[in-house]
Amino acid sequence: MAWSKIKQQLESFLCPALIGRVEYSATGYRYLPDKPGICYIMVDKKKVLNINDITTPIKWYQSDLEIKNDPAIQLPINNEEIELIREDTKGLVPEDRLKVIARSRKISEHAKELLSAQSSLCKSNFIVAANTFLSSPIDESIESNDIVLNILALVDRRVGKKRILNMSEKMKLKHPIVQYFYELRL
């Protein structure tokens, strides 16, 4: 499907409060194959999510540390995770230290998921995600781990106020840009 048709359909699904505020744009260079295409989502005429064909250089270690040291990220730890660490350490680690290790492991996993989601963004992925969004139920887009699908679902008019309010706990575990669009929709 052509980009103009995809854009028209995506904008037809915007919730009434965001019509004119959220815009989608994708540029490509037909005659310059080495020139990357750019795709972005704008909110109030400001580029909020910029997607390039060339993978955005990510400082993996620095980003990982920022996520690990962010006090706003609170991940619940259950007894099964603590027991797994107790088995791994053969019971030689004190009880209070087991919780610290479990939290560190869980945050590392969360950081890896966020960073892999960031690195996979490119114009072709955006168009594939947009086509997927347009052809699948809204619930699949909301539950997906794909950042673009989450954003498109959050600004969709088919997602009502009650559903948005009930998603507050799930949004704490999502990528910061998804959280931004969640706050925008509230």
Helix axes 3-12, 123-135, angle to 10 degrees: 50
Q: What percent of the chain has pLDDT over 70?
A: 80
Q: Work out the pLDDT band at 57, boundaries 50, 70, 90.
A: very low
Which of these, 27, 23, 34, lies nearest to 51 by C-alpha position? Answer: 27
CB distance 102 to 81 below 8 Å: yes
For residue 8, pLDDT over 80 is answered with yes
pLDDT tens-digit profile of 27-47? 766 655 555 567 788 889 888
pTM across the whole model: 0.65
pLDDT at 150 over 80: yes
**Domain edges within the chain:** 3-55+122-185, 60-118
Burial class (CB in 10 A: 0-12, 13-18, 19+), 1: exposed
